Chain A
């Protein structure tokens, strides 16, 4: 790790200028996999936001998404054709492109709305653990000493637990429900952010420029806000991106095990569970196939982009073999 990159960061240049001038962005944009990931994320975001907007302005009846009141369940295959090949032939020209579920709700609309929920709960989880992690990480890096050691080593212990099992332990304490699952996962992810932020912050603090600022009498929080945070932004973003995928998949997993979303919620995890229960094996594949497909695509999108960002940040991995 050379210190040259860190010492070129002066505050008279705006953050955006620095970002555009850095090789990070061009490296990232030349990475086809990362672009693919970004496109997937944009697509899913568009899906979720548009559906939510449609419900909000009343174009779409929320009842058709949420309603559980239909008395007689009549499962409808996509476009009236129960086989996968048959579906491929007739998609686009029918009323229920993804079929209907056991309550005769349209799986397509529910899946679209599920995108909104995945993004909403994923964002809250990642944002909360980012804030907590940034707080703990900068605190540890800035003050050092025994505080640093105690905070970071505790984070290490938490990191060594398998994430799903740790989340289950937290759920056992706090109880079940989507928001409780968000709390559980926030606690599970915080250590990763704390670790990344501390590393980045230490690198900034080693920089002589910060020493000079401190000598001039700048306050602790000023140094942190003006120098440490802007320069740790890139690793934090990478971590957030990778964790977004994890958050989406883990929230769905908790729902699948019965500790997250509850009846009626059109979240992907819950739809998947219900779809499997209601007869995937009897050939009613569409109820769980579509929510799961979009779940997987979302996670893949975030993983592809996150991976690309990490490579762009750490270019030595690319020229490893010369």
Chain B
């Protein structure tokens, strides 16, 4: 792969000796409390001045390539795989090397059963050096993750649960148990369709290759848009629901507008009910992979099982691509013949919100840039509002001619930083060390060639009962005081613009 110099930060890795930072370096080198942070003297030396200058210039729109300043300190190719098999040991799916891994399925099956019989408990996790195996037994399906990425067991379990949930969303628990109660050694591959394998591939690639913190944080990404516009949108939804006399009560369970990149734009929901985040992740994945090429002449009627809502039954989704804004309207019902009722609701709603220009407003909502926030030396961040179960992050600023491989490279690098920052503030079971917890994490490496900058990357993870903040600094920044101040500014900025950044209540009926 021949990459353009300007985007790639791993020049060193292409030298004969690939740069490899032992995972120990990825663990927090410093763990300090608030007081220490506040009183740490800020040494304003020359290198910092340079960094500052760089940071300022990076805010300049003529130089949008801030990302090039962030080096990749992680090994290039992570060894990671997901395997899915039946409880009888028959292979269903492998993320990579399908043929090669089939041989191991029998071994895995034997080991798991050994623990069940001998120890009378389920095998959950095996660690060997940097490598970790995680096992999830969801009779009649068994899922195994193998990773050398340094994820916590909990993170691997939640990834496996996501894959399992996908299978349920496609087949439903009832159908699965029906199949396997008849024949335990059923080969599920014969029952799954090509689209299932494609969807599994896509989910695995989201989990392993992309900047997809949704699963890690258990939150949805929200679309930033003007408070008044979102309010109008919700008002239009509520109004339409009261106007629609032909729509019997209970037909519509849930309505959503989803903007590109799976950003939640608005929600219509019954009082006191919300859908589980995992269910929405699955729905968004389906929309993202399957229906991106829709044009506005078609409307879809799709049966989908929401495993966290009801793993045994199917709900039906009316899916329509909205003209003028690349977004998708989803209306969910429990009745399989409700299509025309929902279609009429959708037609009127769309007519309404396109006549008053709201569709264009959705299209215009472009998110925000890191330079919109007065947070010096911060390169990128993720802010999760726990109340909303949603997160926001600045748009990646990319050159127009960025190749898809370069984008993936960049996203994977960001995601690895965030995973490690996240893991530095949570225990292996996924809970935070404390109700409130703040930690700096640092990645260091000398420059291999004198002409290059040494790597000195600083990250911050901050968890409180109200929010979670994860941030990555520009390379070479080491002033924790400045970073802490920037972190506080990001938080107050996010809070100030809360109603713009997050979908609050939605339209409730």
Say whether A and B bind each other. Answer: no
Enumerate chain B interface residues (CB-CB to A < 8 A): none
Enumerate chain A interface residues (CB-CB to B < 8 A): none
